[in-house]
Amino acid sequence: MKIRLPILLFCLAANTALLGQKLPNLVVFLSDDMGRADSSVYGSPDARTPTMEKLAANGMTFDQAYVASPSCCPNRFSLLTGLMPARHGAHAN
């Protein structure tokens, strides 16, 4: 299994390169204690986030999200590893 995933990823990347398709750009904002309404993109009258507004105007935003854990550290580990907190072992900040 450890060898199959890199080979699969290489084949997918090579296939995309051969077809001449552009890979999508993805920007993920990771912040501590930031809620949905804490940026002007989602309607906050108090916070001014002009750069995020420009990115949102030229791209795509997601209105629904799921986190693996209510704590920051386990959730960040899950995003970076693709594993649930029970698998990677980070359970507290």
Q: Is the dihedral of CA 53, 63, 30, 48 positive or negative?
A: positive
Catalytic residues, by residue number, are 72
DSSP state letters, 38-49: SSGGGT-SS---
Q: Is the dihedral of CA 34, 40, 62, 55 positive or negative?
A: negative
